Amino acid sequence: MESMIRDIKLAPSGHDKIEWVKNFMPVMAAIDEEFSKTKPFAGKKMVITLHLEAKTAYMAEIFQHAGAEVAITGSNPLSTQDDIAAALVEDGLNVFAWHGCTEEEYFTFIDKALDIKPDIIIDDGGDLVHLLHTKRRELLENIIGGSEETTTGVHRLRGLAKEGKLEFPMIAANDAYMKFLFDNRYGTGQSTWDGIMRTTNLVIAGKNVVISGYGWCGKGGAMRARGLGANVIITEVDPIKAIEAVFDGFRVMPMDEAAKVGDIFLTLTGDKDVIRDRHFAVMKNGAMMANSGHFDCEINIPELDRASVSRRTVRNNIEEFKMADGRKLYLLAEGRLVNLAAGDGHPAEIMDLSFAVQFFSAIHLLEHGKDMKPDVYLMPEEINTKIAERKLKALGVSIDVLTPEQRAYLNLE
């Protein structure tokens, strides 16, 4: 296969970045050591559609060391790092991605990667699964199964399964404890603020930060915003999550109210139109908006464009929208995942866990996929425990062990 990347000469910096993250992913390093010897994926082909940065690259190489032939694409036009793509090509993977690709190129890349005829897939957001169920249906019979990295993709899969249209088993890797408790919460929490801060170079302390969605990502975003000294306001649609936010010590109000007082708005809902025309109409001069949910529809950008009299880029990854009354509103990273489009994504120590979930999900599919009906599955519980044990060992943390009497008392026998 002929890879499609920006520039192979960028590879040295990509290799350096991959080497750096390896230092902080001990669970993946142990997986690499173990499975590069046994090569369980020998003869198998994989398509991976994930944010193409250093941690993803390391996982893709581990699958390759474990015997798989791998084709990889990005899962967002702005999250691909061209030097990483180049490094992977040098290491013998089939790569179809470049930073800033058009929507058409983005889908062409996934289409090209699928020419490898995968046995197993890893998706992030559902576009790969979508293409397999529409344009590339001829490949369905070959697929053992796959796994999905994020909340939005899992929602799309469950929709497909409910309509009886899902054609192969998919593991909701996102819904594994060892993924969402750490990746969605601490990973998104830290990396989103890293993306916002490096993009704006402004102080967070003292600002009114409006966070939409108090799910796993929203909790992380709110927790870290508070740590940075912000006055955090939560908007929610779920009454239970809203109460949780109140008892976590945050102010909760509808977006119609929050829009008037916010300095920085951050959407993390997986929903669309969370911030829209009537909100732009009442925002303060200088208000900033960013999204860290999967798709760029949480902030209604076409409505923002229509409501403004001019639009220009004022700093890398920051667009200024001037309103008729002279107010300036700012949009970060085109409303795409700000932690990836304007940053490097989750910290390596976090992706050490998420990608261990992906690796063991793929092993599970390899061993049991043929017997699994098309549906959305959770990763087996014991794998969560296995990953947690490996991480604790790497962290040098030991914990207590139940005595036989305690096991009996807790009815665990």
Ligand X SMILES: NC(=O)c1ccc[n+]([C@@H]2O[C@H](COP(=O)([O-])OP(=O)(O)OC[C@H]3O[C@@H](n4cnc5c(N)ncnc54)[C@H](O)[C@@H]3O)[C@@H](O)[C@H]2O)c1
Residues 126 and 152: beta-carbon distance below 8 Å: yes
Which two three-digit tokens encode residue 87? 């490094």
Residues 135 and 360: beta-carbon distance below 8 Å: no
318 forms beta bridges with 315, 332
Pick the closer one to ligand X by CB: 94 or 191: 191
A 10 A CB-CB count for 328 gives 16
Pick the closer one to ligand X by CB: 74 or 270: 270
Helix 11-22 / helix 348-368 crossing angle, nearest 10 deg: 90
Q: What is the length of the chain?
A: 413
Pick the closer one to ligand X by CB: 123 or 183: 183
Residues 284 and 263: beta-carbon distance below 8 Å: yes
- Which residues of this chain interact with ligand X, rule CB under 6 A? 150-152, 180, 183-184, 188, 212-218, 235-238, 241, 268-271, 274, 292-294, 337, 339
CA–CA dist 91, 8 (Å, integer): 11
Residues 338 and 199: beta-carbon distance below 8 Å: yes
CA–CA dist 41, 231 (Å, integer): 49
Strands 288-291 and 231-235: unpaired
Secondary structure of residue 404 in the 3-state scheme: helix
Residues 96 and 110: beta-carbon distance below 8 Å: yes
Q: How far is the CB of 208 from ligand X (least distance, A)?
A: 17
Q: How far is the CB of 180 from ligand X (least distance, A)?
A: 6
Pick the closer one to ligand X by CB: 82 or 183: 183
Pick the closer one to ligand X by CB: 234 or 365: 234
Strands 318-323 and 308-315: antiparallel
Dihedral sign (CA 114, 125, 179, 412)? negative
Pick the closer one to ligand X by CB: 94 or 190: 190
CA–CA dist 90, 231 (Å, integer): 47
291 forms beta bridges with 267, 337
Pick the closer one to ligand X by CB: 160 or 274: 274
Pick the closer one to ligand X by CB: 139 or 170: 170
Q: How far is the CB of 167 from ligand X (least distance, A)?
A: 22
CA–CA dist 69, 90 (Å, integer): 14
Nearest residue to ligand X on Cβ basis: 215
Pick the closer one to ligand X by CB: 118 or 343: 343
Q: Which residues contact 346 (CB under 8 A, 6 or more apart)?
A: 55, 183, 187, 188, 190, 191, 339, 354
Q: How far is the CB of 35 from ligand X (least distance, A)?
A: 26
Q: How far is the CB of 252 from ligand X (least distance, A)?
A: 10
Pick the closer one to ligand X by CB: 218 or 369: 218
